[in-house]
Amino acid sequence: PRRAPVVVLDQPRNLGNAGAVIRLAAGFGATGVVTTGTLDPWHPTVVRGGAGLHFATVVERLEVAGLPPGPLFALDPEGEDIRGLELPDDALLAFGSERSGLTPELRARADRLVALPMRPQVSSYNLATSVAMTLYHWSAGGGAPRVP
């Protein structure tokens, strides 16, 4: 099994956000970042947003059917509160786009729907913010390498 989660961006649209997520994944020690859909995770704008950290983690584009094995935790406002869950090291952590959320295909593949705490007057978080909060939750459970 993997020793750190894979971040899955389900049909992301914003190149800068995708780059920021790659930077976060590298910083937290995630196994890698997978995108579904048409966004090229190696587009120059994504690489710039990732601050060159594409080379510090695995980055690829796959179809939902081709995702690596492991329990898939999909972030969704209708999911269960993440604060009551432990995210396993071999998890796939899936995030939909800010505008559309998860695709029906990825949502159907999810083992669990998970929600981040958010006040009712807030409709959504920025994609990179959601990834950061989720990876922090995983790392606080002891999964990430300790800061030297």
Residue 63 lies in a domain: yes
Model pLDDT, residue 31? 96
Residue 20 belongs to a domain:
yes
Task: Reduce the DSSP state of residue 130 to 3 states and report it.
Answer: helix
Q: Are 127 and 98 in contact (CB under 8 A)?
A: yes
SS3 11: coil
Q: How far apart are CA 36 and CA 33, in angstroms?
A: 10
Mean pLDDT, the chain cut into blocks of 10 residues (148 residues total): 94 96 96 97 94 92 97 96 95 92 96 95 92 96 68
pTM higher than 0.75 for the full model? yes
Amino acid 148: pLDDT:
60
In whole angstroms, give the CA distance from residue 54 to residue 77.
29
Q: What is the pLDDT of residue 145?
A: 64
State residue 144's pLDDT score. Answer: 64
pLDDT, position 100: 87
Range of the domain at 101: 6-140
Residue 147 lies in a domain: no
User: Would you state the pLDDT for residue 142?
Assistant: 74
According to the model, what pLDDT value does residue 52 have? 87
Report the pLDDT value the prediction gives residue 124, as an integer from 0 to 100: 85
- β-pairing, 112-115 vs 92-95, is unpaired
d(CA 81, CA 113): 9
CATH number at residue 20: 3.40.1280.10
Q: Classify residue 148: in a domain, yes or no.
A: no
Answer yes or no: is 31 within a domain. Answer: yes
Residue 56 belongs to some domain of the structure: yes
- C-alpha span between 52 and 73 (Å, rounded): 27
User: Does some domain include residue 146?
Assistant: no
Q: How many domains does the chain have?
A: 1
- Give the tens place of pLDDT for each residue, 97-131: 878 899 999 999 999 999 999 999 988 899 999 99
